[in-house]
A and B are shown apart, each in its own frame.
Chain A
Amino acid sequence: MNAVTVAHIVKKYGSKKAPVHALDDISLDVSKGELFGVIGPDGAGKTSLFRILTTLLLADSGDATVDGFDVVKQYKAIRNRVGYMPGKFSLYQDLSVEENLRFFATIFNTSIAANYELIKDIYIQIEPFKDRRAGKLSGGMKQKLALCCALIHRPSVLFLDEPTTGVDAVSRKEFWEMLKALKQQGISILVSTPYMDEAALCDRVALMQSGKIMSIDSPRNIIKKFTKTMWSVRSAEMYRLLNDLQQYSNTEKCYAFGEFHHLVLKNNGVERDEIMSYLQYLSHREIELQVALPNIEDCFIELMSSTGK
């Protein structure tokens, strides 16, 4: 049995005349114990999908189950076994760390002691501040407390909606370590994120764009599907370089990527020398040109342009 199944879910917002498809015929499966990433930019439909799966939102059509229970008919059973951390996870600012945790334990009909084992590793980090009001915690600590609150009733499926948005790089890394540890405990985790670099940390990812899933696979396989050669290029004049490469007759696409520009050519047969001579002809200096390994972001951009047309 899968932790989550989604079949042909459609959700529209707005008026009947001009509906906006937040989710346009989405289907996916998440296995038990999997760390599944939903990757996509803002407005891709990630939150709508999570809200449907956590029984907060009704889909217009399609079916979905969580832990084997139907999200519409058996929503009560689901509410007992999912943990949900909304993008804007909120704690009671005027209650202390411990009081917040106790509150969420109580509304799930359990106690901190009953599931302390599960949250121990995370809670131990914020325990020194347990009498502090939640409003006075730092961002990273708030997020840890939020995760504890979402876990306190030992959910079998955990939904994390953009948990790392607005969190610093160190805390983000720590957070993903925590997720890996939770996976070891047998909890299935669905996590959404707009950060492509986090995709590589998931077992499988779904790449979403404008309410559609473009690809579902393990990060490695998604990268494997990227068969074209990709070059990374830099020179002294980066902006002119980008324009020139986009003008280049062999270029399929070229975009800025950190310190380099990533260049994909129309056919893989083109040699390094050819590109070099083109750039030298345009009198670029300090040219660095090498074959680069594509990552998820490159795949995402590739998929976006191929499905977008």
Chain B
Amino acid sequence: MNQLLFLLEKEFRQVFRNPAILRSVLVMPFIQLLVFPFAANYEVKNVLLSIVDHDHSSYSKKFISKITSTGYFKLTDYSPSYNKAMEAIESDKADLIIEIPPGFEKELVKENKSKMLLAVNAVNGTKANLGGAYAVNIIRDFNQEIQVEWMTFPSFNAIPAIEITSSNWYNPTMNYKDFMVPGILVTLLTMIGTFLSALNIVQEKEIGTIEQINVSPIAKSTFILGKLIPFWIMGLVTLTIGLLVSRFFYQIVSIGNIGLIYLFAMVFLLALLGVGLLISTFAETQTQATFVGFFVMMIFMLLGGLYTSIDSMPEWAKWITKINPVAYFIEVMRMIVLKGSGFAAIKYHLLSVLGLAVVFNSWAIWNYRKRS
């Protein structure tokens, strides 16, 4: 016990003398949380629009003013022909072409229907998808407006229509930041848990002090605990800073119990420290540890559900997310913060991460040898 206390004292002394670690624990959460949520944004704005209007009628003008007034589209090109508009797409001046055929208004009035061409540059998939969807929505809206306009003339066959209205539960204003910030907080904890612990132990290998520790009678478990506890505490400090930033900067107030977030974070950090420890038992140098660490981080992040929904992943990828502690925590974080889930709802997640923590740590301890 005495030994362990001293190891902790030594570890903290070193941390406080190492400005790089202090910075990453204290400053990184600020920077990441203040910058990242604004940049990592799914909302597609400023879709560059090219219009080819062959009709030049009042309806086509009305449509153009409608679509440009939404704020999603920016009219950057007004071409006389479809081919010219294509050139604008090729030179990246436009993302989307809407072609209004000649006689658009005439047909609409006479035949009660008309056609329009929508072409999207799909190099950037997200932008194409969302931009296209917005445009279709606007066209549908426009369509309805015209119908309403005509219905003011008395008519017998008013078209009965089902109107769809939707409401967004748990995040009513669809605030993107409410959704991202808790997730980013998890990635921060992941980095601290995995990298700092792995690099710290490998550093002892690199400078050679581990040799002296290995010839000493100190128990393997004491040594490892002495290494893990400091980073566990640092992770919780980072979490606290992160929660404060999201409270005071983004006004995200957790609906659920904050204590539950901490409980989960404690178990989660245990699992990640296990991963870090495991990496350190395989790596001989800090460079090796960094590379392996990055590889593991990429998997954790991309298959963690932060950027892309796990539900839309292929079956095999879903299985990988089952052994990814990050995926559990991101989900739980959102459940607690946005939905106010209680212990019963996250019980399964907590047990899974606890299981992973046991597996990673036992593997690491088994793999850590005091002799070769």
Instruction: Mark A residues whose CB is within 8 Å of B.
Output: 54-58, 75-76, 79-80, 82, 84, 86, 88-95, 99, 102-104, 106-109, 149-150
Contacts and interface: CB of A to CB of B under 8 A. Distances in A.
B173 interface: no
Given A58-B371, A95-B13, A95-B14, A107 B207 contact: no
A55 B369 CA distance: 11
Interface in B204-218: 207-209, 211-218
Contacts of B13: 94-95, 99
Contacts of A57: 371-372
A14 B3 CA distance: 38
A107 B371 contact: no
A58 B207 contact: no
Interface centre among B7, B217, B370 (most CB of A within 10 A): B217
B140 interface: no
B316 to A, nearest CB: 37
A149 B212 contact: yes
A33 B165 CA distance: 92
A127 to B, nearest CB: 20
Contact of A56 (B17, B209, B214): B214
Tell me the dominant secondary structure on chain B's binding face.
helix
Contact of B18 (A55, A94, A108): A94
B10 interface: yes
A297 to B, nearest CB: 30
A55 B371 contact: yes
A47 B162 CA distance: 84
A7 B3 CA distance: 36
A31 to B, nearest CB: 22
A92 B213 CA distance: 12
Given A90-B212, A93-B207, A103 B18 contact: no
Interface in B1-59: 2-3, 6-7, 10, 13-14, 17-18
A109 B217 contact: yes
Contact of A91 (B2, B17, B209, B217): B209
A95 B12 CA distance: 11
Contact of A54 (B2, B3, B215): B215
Contacts of B10: 92, 95, 99, 103
Contact of A79 (B2, B3, B6, B217): B217
Given A89-B212, A94-B17, 14 more contacts: A54-B215, A56-B215, A58-B372, A76-B217, A79-B216, A80-B217, A90-B208, A90-B212, A91-B209, A93-B207, A95-B13, A106-B3, A107-B218, A109-B217
Contacts of A108: 216-218
A283 B13 CA distance: 71
Contacts of A94: 13-14, 17-18
In the complex, the 4 A-B pairs of residues with the closest C-beta atoms, listed nearest first? A90-B208, A106-B6, A107-B216, A107-B218
Given A94-B14, A94-B18, A79 B207 contact: no
